[in-house]
Chain A
C-alpha cells in the first residue's frame, strides 16, 4: 500500500536534488606559478574613477604593467581579476594621449568585449598606436549583451 507522506518526502528530496544540480556554482580555476617570478615587471601607479560599484567589485584591476615594443611603442598590460563565482563579460577601450595630454585620434581605440571565467585573472593589453603616444586611459563597462 502506498504511503502518501513517504511519497511527499520523496518528492521534496527529488526537487531539492534537482535544485542543487541546477544552481550549483560554476567551477572556478586553479592557478599555479613559479614561487618567485623571473621577470621584473614595470608597474604603473594608477588613479581610479569608479562610478559603477558593481563592476568595480566584480572586476578588480590588480596592477598595470608597461613596456615598449618596436623601439618606441608603449605597451600596457592591465591585469584584471573577476573576483566572483560567476563568469562575466566586460567591454573595454584604451584611449591614447600624446606627451601634451591630448587625445590621439586612432583607429585602435575600439570597444572590445572580454569574457572572464569565475575567479579568472586576465590581462587587457594595448599597444600605443604610434611613438607619440605617451599615456593612456582605460574605460571599462559591464557587457550587458551577454
Chain B
C-alpha cells in the first residue's frame, strides 16, 4: 500500500516525477561546459564550415603524401632541405585561419627530421625577430656567415569550396590543395588535393 502525501499523490509516483524532472534537467539544456579532445567523438560536425577534424584529416593526408613522395635527401653539405612558405589563397566562402592547416603540415615535416621550414625566408616573414637578428649578425660579421639560407622548396596552398543543395540537404566540399616547387628550377616536385565533403541538413554533436 502506498503512503499518501498531502496532495494525495502516491510516493512511488512522486519519485517517478522527481526522477523524470532530474532527467529532464540533465538532458534538456544540452551538456554542461566541459573540455574534450580536439576532433574527437565528443565534438561538433558542421555542414558549412571547416571543423578541427577536417583540418586534421587534410593536414594528415597532405603531410603523409609529401613525406612519402618527395625525396628529401640532404644537400651536398649534409644540411636538411629547407621549405619556404609561399602564397596561401583562400577561395572558400568563409574566413579561415590558414595557419591552422599550415602549422599541422610544418610540424610533422620538422618532426620527421627529413626537412625543415624557414620562418624568415618565406613569402611572409613569420618571425621578424629572427629575421632582424640574422641581418644584424650579417652586418656585424660582414662575412655573410649568417646569410639567410634560401629555401630549396616553395610551398603553395589553395583552399576552395563547392556547394550544392537538394531536398533541404546541404553539401559542401572543401578542397585543400598544396604544391611544392623546387626553387632552383621552378619545377613542381609534389602536388596534392584533398577534398572533404560534408553532407547534412543540420550540424551534429557527438555527445
A7 touches B (CB below 8 Å): no
Q: In the assembled complex, how far is the CB of residue B7 from the closest CB belonging to chain A, in whole angstroms?
A: 41
Q: In the assembled complex, how far is the CB of residue B44 from the closest CB belonging to chain A, in whole angstroms?
A: 7
A101-146 contacts to B (CB < 8 Å): 106-108, 110-113, 125-127, 129-131, 141-146
Q: How far is the CA of A69 from the CA of B43 in the complex (A)?
A: 33
B75-129 contacts to A (CB < 8 Å): 104, 107-108, 111-114
| Residue contact A127 to B57, C-beta cutoff 8 Å | no
Q: How far is the CA of A130 from the CA of B108 in the complex (A)?
A: 8
Q: How far is the CA of A130 from the CA of B112 in the complex (A)?
A: 4
Query: CB-nearest residue of chain B relative to A128?
Result: B112
| Residue contact B53 to A112, C-beta cutoff 8 Å | yes
| Residue contact A108 to B108, C-beta cutoff 8 Å | yes
| Residue contact A130 to B56, C-beta cutoff 8 Å | no
User: Which residues of B line the A interface, CB within 8 A?
Assistant: 37-41, 43-45, 53, 56-57, 60, 63-64, 67-68, 72, 104, 107-108, 111-114, 204-207
| Residue contact B67 to A107, C-beta cutoff 8 Å | no
Question: Which of B53, B111, B113 is A111 in contact with, Cβ under 8 Å?
Answer: B53
Contact A111 B67, CB 8 Å, known A73-B112, A145-B204, A145-B205: no
| Residue contact B68 to A110, C-beta cutoff 8 Å | no
| Residue contact B205 to A111, C-beta cutoff 8 Å | no
A75 touches B (CB below 8 Å): yes
| Residue contact B39 to A110, C-beta cutoff 8 Å | yes
> Hey, which chain A residues are within 8 Å of B72, CB to CB?
70
- For the residues of A in contact with B, the DSSP-based class is loop
> Hey, which chain B residues are within 8 Å of A73, CB to CB?
67, 112, 114
A64 touches B (CB below 8 Å): no
Query: CB-nearest residue of chain B relative to A110?
Result: B56
Query: CB-nearest residue of chain B relative to A126?
Result: B64
> Hey, which chain A residues are within 8 Å of B68, CB to CB?
69-70, 75, 127
Q: How far is the CA of A131 from the CA of B44 in the complex (A)?
A: 34
User: Which residues of A line the B interface, CB within 8 A?
Assistant: 69-70, 73, 75, 91, 106-108, 110-113, 125-127, 129-131, 141-146
Q: In the assembled complex, how far is the CB of residue B179 from the closest CB belonging to chain A, in whole angstroms?
A: 20
> Hey, which chain A residues are within 8 Å of B207, CB to CB?
144
Q: How far is the CA of A111 from the CA of B104 in the complex (A)?
A: 13
| Residue contact A141 to B56, C-beta cutoff 8 Å | no
> Hey, which chain B residues are within 8 Å of A75, CB to CB?
68
| Residue contact B57 to A113, C-beta cutoff 8 Å | yes
Q: In the assembled complex, how far is the CB of residue A115 from the closest CB belonging to chain B, in whole angstroms?
A: 9
Q: How far is the CA of A106 from the CA of B63 in the complex (A)?
A: 14
Query: CB-nearest residue of chain A relative to B72?
Result: A70
| Residue contact A111 to B112, C-beta cutoff 8 Å | no
Q: In the assembled complex, how far is the CB of residue A94 from the closest CB belonging to chain B, in whole angstroms?
A: 9
> Hey, which chain B residues are within 8 Å of A141, CB to CB?
40-41
Q: In the assembled complex, how far is the CB of residue A106 from the closest CB belonging to chain B, in whole angstroms?
A: 6
Contact A129 B111, CB 8 Å, known A110-B39, A145-B43: yes
| Residue contact B44 to A145, C-beta cutoff 8 Å | yes
Query: CB-nearest residue of chain A relative to B107?
Result: A107
> Hey, which chain A residues are within 8 Å of B45, CB to CB?
113, 145-146
